[in-house]
Amino acid sequence: MATRGFFGKRPTDDVGERLPPGQYRTDDFPVLSAGPTPRVALADWRFTLKDGVRPVMSWNWEAFNQLPQSKLTRDIHCVTKWSKFDTAWSGVMIDDLLAEAGIAAPSEFTLAHSYDGYSTNVPTDDLINGKAMVATHFDGQPILPDHGGPARLLVPHLYFWKSAKWVNGLQFTRRDEAGFWELRGYHMRGDPWREQRFAGD
Amino acid sequence: MDRIPDIAPQPERLAWQMATVIAITTETPRVKLFRLKPADWHGFTAGQHVDIRLTAPDGYQAERSYSIGSAPDGSGEIELAIDLIDAGEVSPFFHEVVEVGDAIELRGPIGGHFIWRAEDGGPLLLMAGGSGLVPLMSMLRYRAAAAPEIPAALIYSARRHEDLIWRDELFRRATEDPNFTLLATLSREATPVAGIRQGRIDRALVDAALQSLPTTPKTTYICGSNPFVGAASSFALDAGLPFASIKAERYGG
């Protein structure tokens, strides 16, 4: 049913077809997080891959930056309704992290962990085969702390809360374990094209 | 004190429903208050928001999130404070088109992190920039009714004196409530106003708020624009508040 008197600012077709339902385009880069921006020193930074509770491999900042570098330019969609087009990231693909660790993805589910205590669950299929990376650069520059630097997960085809800021590890889990926002009512997968914002969507 | 009957978590499934506009109040030159009565409402928790969905005749839809400013009070109604964004799509519609009696589609309540219940305890340190006051006002109003013994301090930064939302109510509460301290500051007001500081939030203001509380705050809630939240959370961390005790919500997203 139409809302009385509402006509809206309909985007042009070339923009509209890139916008998932309920989203609007912005050229800004809004910042969202559950708490303060953590102060992460590169000298202390580590990234760890775990299979369950067992650490598989761990990198310090220097070693991490020696890994194969890739670029992804993608549209991103935040559950708070903004979308930003053609965002350009570089970092290390999850496929390359697994290859470096000498393993295939050991389970269907993954939890990403962050320096601020945040976590988010992502189906492993959404992380592999060229879909996701641990990004260290945005627009050719180191990612700013407010935007998740030194490193953030980038899973651009899911709502952006899945792209955990200040990421410090990926943990493969046997079950789909809810992360921070997922425990608080957000969707376990978060596909913007199916408008999976909240549990039950 | 009887238990407030209206406290509810985010439901398992959030269904869209219609809400009737009960009242509209011009609160400041840029903020209007909209009192809504959702058709099927089972309460909410202070700090939560609702999603609004507007539909054009051709089916085009726009969605936005708005925090609830009223307290969970059993009325079955909620109050939203909508800040006018000149180039916006949804806030100008609310300011210029919406009338009492209109039906607006929404779903909620939403949010399980930036919330406060009496059993969560205190003291509470609240820091608001501009319309970031809205979810914190819900907490303050609810606290005054449900747990007035819990100490609370609010730092509230606005541009000008006329931009202070719920100004009279806040100053009245600060005068009447021995466990509530209000520290208001104006970042762009040329004329000094008695009882209100001038300038942006700074470390001294955070220290003054902390000194007004009997012990270290159990939880600090910060809401506003990203620059405001960034500054306020840095001062809070510098003042020694534990990282995990600080909850933030950023507007402009």
Residue A136 lies inside a defined structural domain of this protein: yes
Residue A27 lies inside a defined structural domain of this protein: no
- Which single residue is written with the structure tokens 């310090």? A60
| Confidence tier at A136 by pLDDT (50, 70, 90) | very high
Residue B134 pLDDT > 50: yes
Residue A35 lies inside a defined structural domain of this protein: no
Q: How far is CA B136 from the centre of its chain?
A: 4
pLDDT digits (tens, 9 = 90+) for A8-58: 988 998 999 999 999 999 998 888 889 999 999 999 999 999 999 999 999
Distance CA(A57)–CA(A166), nearest Å, equals 18
Domain ranges of chain B: 17-110, 118-251
Residue B8 pLDDT > 90: no
Q: Which residues of B touch A146 (CB under 8 A)?
A: 226, 230
Distance CA(B7)–CA(B21), nearest Å, equals 22
Helix axes B167-176 and B133-146, enclosed angle (nearest 10): 40
CB contact at 8 A, B229 and B222: yes
Of A8, A30, A200, Cβ closest to residue B56: A8
Cross-chain Cβ contact A185/B110 below 8 Å: yes
CB contact at 8 A, B188 and B160: yes
Number of structural domains in chain A: 1
* Mean pLDDT taken over chain B: 95
Distance CA(A142)–CA(B164), nearest Å, equals 38
Question: What pLDDT was estimated at residue B252?
Answer: 61
* A183-198 average pLDDT score: 96
Q: Among B49, B67, B89, B115, pick the best mutation site for testing chain A contact (most A Cβ within 10 A).
A: B89
Of A38, A146, A198, Cβ closest to residue B226: A146
Beta strands per DSSP E along chain B? 17-28, 31-38, 49-55, 61-67, 78-83, 103-110, 124-129, 152-158, 180-186, 197-198, 219-225, 246-251
Residue B242 pLDDT > 60: yes
Nearest chain A Cα distance for residue B246, angstroms: 6
* A153-179 average pLDDT score: 97
Cα-based torsion angle of the residue sequence B57, B63, B64, B67 in order, rounded to the nearest 10 degrees:
90
Cross-chain Cβ contact A37/B253 below 8 Å: no
Q: State both tokens at B29.
A: 């030159």
* Mean pLDDT taken over chain A: 96
* B89-96 average pLDDT score: 96
Q: Which residues of A touch B111 (CB under 8 A)?
A: 184-185
* B87-103 average pLDDT score: 96
Distance CA(A71)–CA(B65), nearest Å, equals 33
Question: What pLDDT was estimated at residue B190?
Answer: 87
| Confidence tier at B6 by pLDDT (50, 70, 90) | confident
DSSP three-state, residue A181: helix
Distance CA(B137)–CA(B130), nearest Å, equals 12
Residue A200 lies inside a defined structural domain of this protein: no
- Which single residue is written with the structure tokens 């999130």? B65
CB contact at 8 A, B35 and B27: no
Cross-chain Cβ contact B63/A22 below 8 Å: yes
Residue A6 lies inside a defined structural domain of this protein: no
Residue A96 pLDDT > 90: yes
* B78-82 average pLDDT score: 98
Q: Which residues of B touch A181 (CB under 8 A)?
A: 113
Residue A84 dihedral angles phi and psi, to the nearest 5°: -130, 130
**Domain range B118-251, its CATH number among 3.40.50.620, 3.40.50.1820, 3.40.50.80, 1.10.760.10:** 3.40.50.80
Interfacial B residues in 5-24 facing A (CB < 8 Å): 9-10, 12-14
Q: Which residues of A touch B247 (CB under 8 A)?
A: 34-35
Give residues with Cβ within 8 angstroms of A179, minimum separation 6: A111, A112, A118, A119, A120, A121
The pTM score is 0.94
Of A8, A23, A30, Cβ closest to residue B252: A30
Question: What pLDDT was estimated at residue B5?
Answer: 54
Buried b / exposed e across B27-66, counting CB within 10 Å, b at 16+? bbebbbbbbbebeebebbbbbbbbbbbbebeeebebbbbb
| Confidence tier at A94 by pLDDT (50, 70, 90) | very high
What CATH number does residue A103 fall under? 3.90.420.10
Query: Is B102 touching A (CB cutoff 8 A)?
Result: yes
Cross-chain Cβ contact A80/B63 below 8 Å: no
Q: If you write DSSP's letter for every residue of A94-142 in order, what string do you get?
A: HHHHHHHHT----SSEEEEEETTS-EEEEEGGGTTTTT-EEEEEETTEE
CB contact at 8 A, B108 and B14: yes
**What is the second-level CATH architecture of the domain B17-110?**
Beta Barrel (2.40)
CB contact at 8 A, B40 and B136: no
> A173 is in which domain, residue-wise?
40-194
* B12-33 average pLDDT score: 97
Distance CA(B166)–CA(B141), nearest Å, equals 11
Nearest chain A Cα distance for residue B10, angstroms: 7
Q: State both tokens at B209.
A: 């708020």
Question: What pLDDT was estimated at residue A1?
Answer: 82
Distance CA(A41)–CA(A145), nearest Å, equals 11
Residue B204 pLDDT > 60: yes
Distance CA(A92)–CA(A107), nearest Å, equals 20
Of A9, A22, A34, Cβ closest to residue B113: A34
Residue A18 lies inside a defined structural domain of this protein: no
Angle (CA) B63 B66 B68, round 5°: 145
Residue B3 pLDDT > 60: no
Of A10, A24, A199, Cβ closest to residue B12: A199
Residue A122 pLDDT > 90: yes
Question: What pLDDT was estimated at residue B1?
Answer: 40
DSSP three-state, residue A44: helix
Question: What pLDDT was estimated at residue B2?
Answer: 44
Question: What pLDDT was estimated at residue A105?
Answer: 96
Residue B246 pLDDT > 90: yes
Distance CA(A87)–CA(A28), nearest Å, equals 11
Residue B50 pLDDT > 70: yes
- Residue B187, judged by CB atoms within 10 A of its CB (0-12, 13-18, 19+), counts as middle
pLDDT digits (tens, 9 = 90+) for A81-91: 999 999 999 99
